[in-house]
Every structure is written in C-alpha cells, then in structure tokens.
Amino acid sequence: MPWVDYVPTVLRPGILLTKAIYHFTMAIFETIFTERSPSSLFNLTLLRHKSFARLWIANGEAMTIQMPGPLDALLSTSRGVILDIGPGSGEILPRFNSAQISAMYGAEPAIDLHPGLLRNAEKNGLGGKYHALVCGGEPESLIPALHKSGILSSGSGGGEGVFDEICCIRVLCGVPRPRETIRGLYGLLKPGGRMVVCEHVVNPWRTPEGSVVGRLAQVVYTLLGWPFFMGGCELQRHTPEFLTEAAGKDGWASESFEYVEPTNAFPFYVGELRKRG
Ligand SMILES: C[S@@+](CC[C@H](N)C(=O)[O-])C[C@H]1O[C@@H](n2cnc3c(N)ncnc32)[C@H](O)[C@@H]1O
C-alpha cells in the first residue's frame, strides 16, 4: 500500500483523542465551577464517565451515521428479550426493528447519557419496553442491576440464561476484565441465543489482512493516554480471542465474523455468535 494511504490510519485517532482531552478538561471545570464539588474529582471513574459522556453527546450521532460491515443487517433481525451493553445515548436504536423486540435492557454506567437513551428509546418505538440500567457489563455491576430489574430470579447467582440476544457494540474495548466480563455475558444468554458484536480490536498485523502501521499506531496512541481520556477504551484488546474462549471447551454453535478496515488503527470485528441450544 502507498504510504499516503496510511495517513488516515495514523491521524484519525489523533483528532478524536484531542477532542477527548478537551472534554476531560471541561468535565474538570464543570465539576469545580458549575457543580461546586471539587472533592468529586477524586472519584476518577465518575470523572472519566462524565468526560466520555460529554464527548459522546457531542460526537456520538456523527460517529453512528455509518456503522461497519454487516452490523445494520444483523441488528435488523434482532428479536425477543435483548441486553444491550453500553448503549450510550441510544444512537444505535433506529437500527432495531422494535416490532420484533419484547423487552430491551441497556446496561449504561454513564448516567449523563440516560436522558438521551430514554428519549431515543421512546422515539424508536421501544418506550414501554426499554429498561435503562445504571451499571456496567462486568458481572459485579450487571448482575445486581439485573436482579433489581426483576429479569434474574432472586436465587440465581447470575449464570441464568435469560436473554435471546446480547449486543456488544463499541463497548467491549472499555469493559474491565474483558475475558471474565464476556464469560459472564455468555452465561446470561439463553441456549440458542445470539451475541451480536461490533468492536474495534487489536490490529491483526500477523495475518495478511492486518498491517504493522495500524498496529504501531495503536501502540503510540495508547502511550499518548488513549485509554485514560477515552473512558477506559483500549485499542489493543484481543476481543476475538476472548469471545471464542467464553463458550468454554464445547465452543459456540456457530461464529461468523468479518474484519472491517483491518489495516487501520480501528480494525472492526463485526459478526454474530450463536450459543448451543
Ligand atoms: C463508544 S460508546 C458506544 C455506545 C453504543 N453502544 C453505540 O455503539 O452507539 C461506549 C459506551 O459504553 C459505555 N461504557 C463504558 N464502560 C462500560 C462498562 N464497563 N460497561 C458497559 N458500558 C460501558 C460508555 O459509557 C458508552 O456509553
């Protein structure tokens, strides 16, 4: 590939990182001067969610106009009881067919995104069916929230398969302990249930599809503080591996995936996995 073709690979993440640093700074000012609560700055997790929420409110819609690969087709066939991990402010909800959905649970830890999320649920025919939970996708946060919402029975420890479908869209890059978190999500799927995934992952540079330049850009942006300013988002996650491993030694009934733009710093891994029935 000629070197000029690599320019977007190298520069595009820099634009987003600059915006993230701006919103992080503004979140600090807001906490000190608007909320007059400087002591809240010691809660770094809260501050990072707040700053990411600002970034997402300003840019999320534009970043959702075109979704990678077959995602739109996959979401248009989603049905039943669905768990959406990290739905943000619900920009993705128009991609679902609300008539096929009986209930939808959104596990969104950034409380500042919930008003937009509920507004978008209402706008897209999911108003009465949508349950916005203030929690993350990691088991210690998600399981109590699901118990509280009533979908998990009180005696169950969390490995109860209750969802027809779990959607992970641009979120597994930021969940803590991804291996364990994805295993937890696998446990929540009904037998025969489907996981839909659209995630940027570590560049597959060792394969003919990937690129060394893309992989190096991931290292450089990580060193420049990408995960810190981007709400914990990691550019170098081995999510494809974690997904396959989550089903244990029996494996998934089926896995179907494609890489989208695998040469750049944001190679997306898009597809579906079906749990054995
Ligand atoms: C890049 S946005 C994607 C939003 C939405 N899924 C989409 O694609 O339009 C990532 C979202 O994940 C949320 N998030 C961050 N940490 C999370 C966690 N541990 N569990 C679940 N969601 C998380 C963020 O607050 C944010 O709303």
Domain assignment of residue 109, given as a range: 69-201+237-274
For residue 158, pLDDT beyond 70: no
CA of 51 to the centre of ligand 1 (A): 13
Measured from the CB, is residue 56 less than 6 Å from ligand 1? yes
Question: Which amino acid type is present at position 45?
Answer: T
Does residue 28 belong to any structural domain of this protein? no
Does residue 148 belong to any structural domain of this protein? yes
Does residue 91 belong to any structural domain of this protein? yes
Tell me the pLDDT tens digit for each residue of 181-193. 999 999 999 999 9
Measured from the CB, is residue 88 less than 6 Å from ligand 1? yes
Tell me the pLDDT tens digit for each residue of 23-64. 999 999 999 999 999 999 999 988 998 999 999 999 999 999
CA of 1 to the centre of ligand 1 (A): 33
Calpha distance 82→189 (Å, rounded): 9
CA of 3 to the centre of ligand 1 (A): 33
CA of 6 to the centre of ligand 1 (A): 28
* CATH (domain of 83): 3.40.50.150
Q: Are residues 182 and 171 in contact, defined by beta-carbon separation less than 8 angstroms?
A: no
The protein residue whose alpha carbon is closest to atom 11 in ligand 1 is 86
**Number of domains forming the structure of the chain:** 1
Pocket test for ligand 1, best of 108, 171, 179 (most atoms within 8 A of CB): 171
Mapping DSSP onto H, E and C, the string for the chain reads CCHHHHHHHHHHHHHHHHHHHHHHHHHHHHHHHHCCCHHHHHCHHHHHHHHHHHHHHHHCCHHHCCCCCCHHHHHHCCCEEEEEECCCCCCCHHHCCHHHEEEEEEECCCHHHHHHHHHHHHHCCCHHHEEEECCCCCHHHHHHHHHHHCCCCCCCCCCCCCEEEEEEECCCCCCCCHHHHHHHHHHHEEEEEEEEEEEECCCCCCCCCCCHHHHHHHHHHHHCCHHHHCCCCCCCCCHHHHHHHHCHHHCCCEEEEEEECCCCCCCEEEEEEECCC
Does residue 183 belong to any structural domain of this protein? yes
The protein residue whose alpha carbon is closest to atom 18 in ligand 1 is 136
Which of 243, 237, 244, 245 is closest to 202 using CA atoms?
Answer: 237
Q: Give the contacts of 258 (CB within 8 A, at least 6 positions apart).
A: 69, 70, 269, 270, 271
Does residue 63 belong to any structural domain of this protein? no
Does residue 33 belong to any structural domain of this protein? no
For residue 5, pLDDT beyond 90: no
CA of 61 to the centre of ligand 1 (A): 14
Does residue 210 belong to any structural domain of this protein? no
CA of 256 to the centre of ligand 1 (A): 23
For residue 235, pLDDT beyond 70: yes
Res. 136 pLDDT band, cuts 50 70 90: very high
Q: Tell me the mean pLDDT in the region 7-34.
A: 91
Q: How many CA atoms lie within 13 A of 243 on its CB side?
A: 28
For residue 197, pLDDT beyond 90: yes
Calpha distance 98→38 (Å, rounded): 42
pTM, 2 dp: 0.93
CA of 86 to the centre of ligand 1 (A): 3
For residue 157, pLDDT beyond 80: no
Does residue 241 belong to any structural domain of this protein? yes
Among 147-161, 175-189, 252-266, which stretch is predicted with the lowest mean pLDDT? 147-161
Which residue has tokens 């295993």?
183
CA 72-11-70 angle, to 5 degrees, is 10
Measured from the CB, is residue 138 less than 6 Å from ligand 1? yes
Measured from the CB, is residue 106 less than 6 Å from ligand 1? no
